[in-house]
Chains A and B, each alone.
Chain A
């Protein structure tokens, strides 16, 4: 079946460091791919998405490119801030079903220290 694998962390970085959180997926069709962010004590917020191969999603300085050849959707940011401390979830949408079940990775906890 479809699945999402991501590095679980925790990841600790200094402010202004470069961030990469790896995400790979398994899917039989052509899923949409997402990154969600969860700040402490809150629900999930959509950070960015990509719907087809080679699409690049971007938001708030974060980027991820849909790589079909490597089945990956790695999240990157050039310079992290303390306010980026959160849990990041990679996810895919299993289109082809009536309810479009979204499959989430386990989440990666990021801590950014001043």
Chain B
């Protein structure tokens, strides 16, 4: 069966510090991968998606970036965090190709920028 991991679960960082959030998927190969952000009491905002190693598409220009160094690893980064980067970050995966369109979500990372 497939599982998706995210870490850390919670993170408190000062403004201006760097960020690295990691997401890994097990039990499948060549998945589509996604990063979402959920601000407090708000809906989901798609930040980045990837259909393969080294292939990253950005939905929202901002001070965040994403990388996919391995097939089942997706990393969200920032060089300098802003207060507005606080939120709940969710990673999701989907089977590659057009066989199914269901996305499966990880447990999330709660980021607080002070």
**Number of B residues, CB within 8 Å of A:** 22
Q: Which of B61-110 contact A (CB under 8 A)?
A: 90, 92, 94, 98, 101-108, 110
Residues A99 and B32 in contact, CB atoms below 8 Å apart: yes
- Taking the complex as formed, is B15 at the interface, i.e. its CB lies under 8 A from any CB of chain A? no
Number of chain A interface residues as a range: 20 to 34
- Would you call the interface of chain A mostly helix, strand, loop, or mixed? strand
CA of A41 to CA of B110 in the docked complex: distance in angstroms?
8
Which residues of chain A come closer than 8 Å to B92, judged between CB atoms? Answer: 44
Complex Cα distance A107/B39, Å?
12
Q: Is the CB of A107 within 8 A of B43?
A: yes
**B43 touching A43 by the CB < 8 A rule?**
no
A102 touches B103 (CB 8 A): yes
Pair A89/B102 contact, Cβ less than 8 Å: no
**B57 & A99 in contact (Cβ 8 Å cutoff):** yes
Interface string of B31-51 (1 = CB under 8 A from A): 010000000001110100101
Using known A-B contacts A46-B104, A89-B44, determine if residue A95 contacts B98 with beta carbons closer than 8 Å: yes
Q: Top 5 A-B pairs ranked by shortest CB distance? A: A93-B101, A43-B105, A106-B43, A44-B105, A100-B101
Residues of B within 8 A of A (CB): 6, 32, 42-44, 46, 49, 51, 57, 90, 92, 94, 98, 101-108, 110
* A binding-site residues for B, Cβ under 8 Å: 32, 34, 36, 41-46, 49, 89, 93, 95, 98-102, 104-107
Write 7 A-B pairs (CB below 8 A) sorted by A numbering: A43-B108, A44-B90, A89-B44, A100-B98, A100-B101, A104-B43, A106-B42
